[in-house]
Amino acid sequence: MVDEPTRIDRFVRRVKNNPVLATVLTVCIGVLALAGLVDAIDKIVVTCRSCYEHFHPPPRVPSVAEMQRTRAVAVIANYIQEPVALVEVKSLQWVDLAGKGDEQEFYVCYELGALRHVSVYTTRTSEPQRLFHEQSYSMDVGSAVYEGRQHVVVWHVEGSGGYLRFSVLGWDGVGSLQTKFADDAIFQGSLLFVDRQVYVSGAGQKHQLVCENGNFALRPYRLHPKYPEQGEGCHVLRIEVKEDRLVFEFDNEEVALEKAEDDRYVLKQGLPIRPGESVLIDDNLEQRRGLRLFGGADEVDWESGLYPMFVPIRRGSVKICINDSYGPWYEIWFDVKDRSDNWVTTLP
């Protein structure tokens, strides 16, 4: 018995009897084999390149900001004749003080030895020129924009009262920087830069630095934070003065404090807040007053801003203390607890 030829047998016989078809098939098989070989070689090359780049990474190209910083530090070190390694830069920024449309000036705050230094340089001349320099134990520098021109703001915080002294400096492209505005002796003062404008907090007041026709002035900032407009989880403790004493409102309700010994006023019952919530303190008064705020480092975490704010860092009873002009002390207690807790802190 003879087996019937299969389809494969018939195809092989047809190929053998047709030289053209045999040639085409041979070429196709060769092309496929070559393609597979090329693909394998490509994979080997990619793997080898990855291994080489891993063990021999290309040199890192510094960013524009890094190159500007390196250039500025070299200028400083050359100008003061000190090694670059000794200049510890705290802040540095390139600016356009001349109003020419290009940033060819820079200000820098750096530490050298025990002192902090603030300098302003221009590179518009053939050799870099220093336009301003001051040194102190505590100072810093920033910039603001008024009437379309950049200005340098230099400030110091000194003394046990944290007195703020600051100056606004401008430049017309000739000579040294000119003082456009200066203020000093702001008790417990601080600066805040918002939208390239300067706000001043201190002595129980808030001010905004404004400029009209080249004349700078501090204008009282009258916008008070309100509850509950600050958002969910943010309480407001407002301070006011009545009959030369401090009075308080918590979330729009007056808080009663009782007189204790040693010229202290104490809140007898803690104000309830939940873990993770914050308390914003509205200490913006009508007249200057020597307010100082204190809170234990193991109880509250202070956040900087135009209005001081804190977040309790533990559950239970926490307090902040407010001193009024080195006179009376006011103790405000808070009960940090969940809604399910039913305990209340009552102080002796």
In the numeric block, which tokens belong to residue 98?
Answer: 């001349």
CATH number of 234-336: 2.60.40
CA dist 91 and 159 (Å) reads 23
CA dist 155 and 144 (Å) reads 13
Residue 348's pLDDT is what?
Answer: 43
Q: What is the separation of C-alpha 87 from the centre of its chain, rounded to a whole number of angstroms?
A: 23
CB 141 within 8 A of CB 110: no
Side-by-side strand order, sheet with 245-250? 253-255, 245-250, 234-242, 278-282, 309-312, 300-303
Side-by-side strand order, sheet with 215-220? 190-194, 197-202, 205-212, 215-220
What are the start and end residues of each CATH 2.60.40 domain in the chain? 234-336
In the numeric block, which tokens belong to residue 41?
Answer: 């070689």
The SS3 of residue 146 is strand
CB 346 within 8 A of CB 321: no
Location of structure tokens 């200057």: 288
CB 209 within 8 A of CB 216: yes
In the numeric block, which tokens belong to residue 196?
Answer: 């390239």
The SS3 of residue 255 is strand
Residue 343's pLDDT is what?
Answer: 46
Location of structure tokens 């456009």: 180
**Helices (H), ranges, the chain:** 7-17, 19-55, 64-80
Digit-by-digit pLDDT tens for the chain (348 residues) are 455 567 666 666 665 677 766 676 676 776 667 667 667 677 776 776 776 666 667 777 788 888 888 888 888 888 888 887 888 899 999 999 999 999 999 999 999 888 999 999 999 988 999 999 999 999 999 999 999 999 999 999 988 889 999 999 999 998 999 999 999 889 999 999 999 999 999 999 999 999 999 999 999 999 999 998 888 899 999 999 999 999 999 999 999 899 998 889 998 889 999 999 999 999 999 999 999 999 988 899 999 899 999 999 999 999 999 999 999 999 999 999 986 665 455 444
CA dist 293 and 273 (Å) reads 19
Residue 205's pLDDT is what?
Answer: 95
User: What Å distances lie between residue 242 and 285, 287, 326, CA to CA?
Assistant: 11, 12, 18
